[in-house]
């Protein structure tokens, strides 16, 4: 129990070159980690004859009623529009608050 406790701390980059090397190393590690699931998905689809029945059923469902195919194709667009709408509402509220603050500040200066 008389051993010294060693605490490791994060040391920031000492120079721009060191920061770039660290960033490049982190990029390589992240790319290596991402390649594993990508390769598994690729091989699964490439040799996945067992999926033919399920995929055929999905295609039949989608194209018997074209509305389903259209909804599936436009859902990413709808999601992006909803996210954009949320950001727009936040910006409108922020501008309103800034305008209200400026009006209150101007009214306060006029009273003095």
pTM: 0.41
What's the number of domains the chain is made of?
1
Three state DSSP letters for the chain: CCCCCCCCCCCCCCCHHHHHHHHHHHHHHHHHHHHHHHHHHHHHHHCCHHHHHHHHHHHHHHHHCHHHHHHHHHHHHHHHHHHHHHHHHHHHHHHHHHHHHHHHHHHHHHHC
pLDDT tens, residue by residue, 4-42 = 777 777 777 677 788 888 899 999 999 999 999 999 999
Q: Is residue 59 part of a domain?
A: no
Q: Is residue 39 part of a domain?
A: no
Q: Is residue 7 part of a domain?
A: no
- Tell me what the pLDDT averaged over the chain comes to: 87
Q: Is residue 50 part of a domain?
A: no
Q: Is residue 13 part of a domain?
A: no
- The domain of 112 spans 66-112
Q: Is residue 48 part of a domain?
A: no
Q: Is residue 8 part of a domain?
A: no
Q: Which pLDDT does position 13 carry in this prediction?
A: 67
């Amino acid at each position: 129990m008389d051993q010294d406790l060693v605490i490791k701390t994060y040391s920031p980059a000492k120079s721009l070159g060191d920061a770039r090397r660290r960033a490049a190393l982190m990029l390589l590690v992240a790319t290596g980690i991402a390649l594993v699931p990508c390769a598994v998905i690729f091989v699964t689809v490439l040799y996945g004859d067992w999926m033919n029945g399920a995929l055929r059923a999905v295609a039949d469902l989608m194209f018997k009623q074209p509305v389903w195919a259209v909804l599936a194709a436009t859902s990413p667009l709808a999601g992006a529009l909803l996210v954009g709408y949320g950001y727009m509402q936040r910006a409108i509220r922020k501008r309103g608050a800034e305008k209200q603050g400026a009006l209150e500040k101007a009214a306060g200066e006029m009273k003095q």
